[in-house]
Each structure stands twice: as C-alpha cells, then as structure tokens.
Amino acid sequence: MRYDVVTIFPEYLEPLKLSLLGKAREKGLVDLHLHDLREYTFDRHRTVDDTPYGGGAGMVMKAEPWGLALDEVLAASPLKAAEDATEGAKSEGAEPEADTRPLLIVPSPAGAVFDQAMAYKLAEEKHIVFAPARYEGIDERVLDCAQESFRVMPVSLGDYVLYGGEVAVMAMIEAITRLIPGAMGNPASLEEESHTGGLLEYPVYTKPAVWRDREVPEVLLSGNHGAIARWRRDRQIERTLERRPDLLEAYPVEQWDKKDRRFLAERGVHFANPAKAAQKKAKKNPAPQTDSVAQADTAQPEAARPNTVQPDTAQSNTAQPNTVQTQPES
C-alpha cells in the first residue's frame, strides 16, 4: 500500500512512523510519502489560501498549489503503469477489468462517514492519496479536475468539524493499515474486536486476578473454553445493547442463535421469528382467487363486499422479521 499525503503541516503526521504502523513501513507493507503543499507555491510568502468568491467568512485553499502537488503525486503513482496498460487495452478494443486510477480521499464533514467496513474495503487499495484541507476547504475546481485522474472520495470521521483534515488522515491510515495482511502481530486479534462482526467487543482482563478488591470474572479462570466463549458472546450482546442499540437493530436476525435470543429475551428484547411471521402472513393473506371468482366478487355491490381492511390491532401484532422490540423488565 502506498500512501501520499499533501498537507501544509507534514510534521503533524510524524506519529505515523511510530509503533505498529512504523513496523509495517519497515516491513515494506506500507510506503508513506508526505508532501508540503507550500513547496508548490511561488510567492515569497508561500501563500496557499485566498478570500472566497461571493464573500463570506474564512479563506479558501488556492487551486494551483493543489493542482501541481497532485500532478506530481500522480506521476509517481505505482498504478501509473497499470493505467497505461488499461489505455492500451482500450485502444485494442478490450474491456478493462477495473478502474486503475489512484484513490483520492478528501477529509470533509460533507463526506461519507468512515467506519470499519470502509476500512476493510480501503485496505484492498494499492494507492491512496489524502488531501487534508484547512480553512474553509479546497477550491472546488481542484476536485472537479482531479476526477479525470483520480477516484475522488470525500470522507468524514463523524458529524463534527475539526481545524483541519490531518487528524482524520492519521485515524484513517491507522485503521486501514492494521487490516493489511501482515501488519498485525497477531491477526486473530482482528476477528473479535468491535465492529468486525457487527457487535462491540467484550471486556478483557489480565493479571492479577484480584486488583483493589475487584476480581476477574470466575468463568475466565475456569479453563472451560465453551463457557468462556458463551460468556464473551453474552458480554458483546449486552455491551452493544447498552451502548450502541443501533448496531443491534442492524445485526442480521438469522445470526442470532437460541442462546442469543434467550439472553436478549431476559433483558426485554424480542426478535420476531421470520418463519413464523411468514406462516402468519400466509394465513391472513391466502392465495389469490381464480379469475372467475375474482370477477364475481368485483361484481358484488360495494355494500355487500367483505371488509378487507385489517384493524389496527391486527397490524400491530404482525411480526416483522428484522424488528427489535424492547419491553420493560417486570
């Protein structure tokens, strides 16, 4: 994976050379290049911003420094050869297999929200370029022009605003890099962490077994791997229910086993059974009648027709396959 970051504060990203990410660089798994945007200016003050057209508060980052910087990054891209090959295939009438342009991520509160699923997808990229803006943002023409050579993707860390995009870049690079094969010391640690399976991670403990009169849960000392696995699964469900109920509602209902359902039911959460819901719906809505019967039915006066509108109480009792219903504990 090659990362290129264009920024007015390259020193801001020095921590990316530390810890496991630094080791990933030493192993050759990650190639990080930092570019000072001010190196692409020509005035004595190395100006990278100017007042906005149309008026308004703040400053806007100038187009030309960004254009020059991105041109240089594109020229050095490891995907450039692949792009040239794609152009050759087009000239011969062959259909290219995929878009080989580098990915340009622009941190922005107006972008798609970054999450673990996106991190997994981005970990499959070969070259990602980051354009962290400052002030009121980058002249929009830069992004319009960049789409000719890059796949432009505005991304947000969440519904809040920072001084600049460097913090977002650091967070994304770390989240992406740890998913690259070989970047983690123990790959198994990725399997049960928060968000990987749709639930939050269970609590963890280490030595000593008793600390300030607080004991490690007894089951973790039992050596019973089945019981430990069940305890951890229950804690995942419990923690997700308490802290992120939205994740619980989005969890595929078919992946809850009997023990999961029992554990949730004890806490007032009930999931509709898809099979039973389908049977109940079939009974209430029998198969369509034949044309002759249907015609005879439509020929009846309106007053004689049976009332087909279901009462509200019946509708409320209809089970929905993916609905989470919470009930207060008695």
E strands of 164-314, at which residues?
210-211, 214-215, 269-271
pLDDT band at 43 (very low <50, low <70, confident <90, very high): very high
User: Residue 145: how many CB atoms within 10 A of its CB?
Assistant: 17
Among the listed ranges 132-141, 158-167, 305-314, which one has the minimum average pLDDT value? 305-314
Cβ proximity of 73 and 6 under 8 Å: yes
Cβ proximity of 216 and 209 under 8 Å: yes
Q: Domain boundary at 170, 189, 208, which?
A: 189
Can you tell me the distance from the alpha carbon of 201 to that of 143, in angstroms, rounded to the nearest whole number? 38
Answer yes or no: do 143 and 270 share one domain.
no
Q: pLDDT, tens digit, for every residue of 174-197?
A: 999 999 998 886 666 666 565 667
Answer yes or no: do 162 and 46 share one domain.
yes
Answer yes or no: do 36 and 87 share one domain.
yes
Answer yes or no: do 166 and 241 share one domain.
no
Is the pLDDT assigned to residue 142 strictly greater than 50? yes
Cβ proximity of 223 and 272 under 8 Å: no
Q: Domain boundary at 283, 308, 323, which?
A: 283
Q: Which amino acid is at 181?
A: P
pTM above 0.85, yes or no: no
Asked if residue 294 belongs to a domain, the reply is no
Domain extent at residue 121: 2-189
Residue of 7, 13, 75, 17 whose CA lies nearest to 39: 7
Q: Domain boundary at 165, 189, 213, which?
A: 189
CATH of the domain at 115: 3.40.1280.10
Answer yes or no: do 66 and 207 share one domain.
no
Number of domains in the chain: 2
Asked if residue 301 belongs to a domain, the reply is no
Asked if residue 299 belongs to a domain, the reply is no
Residue the block writes with tokens 């340009």: 104
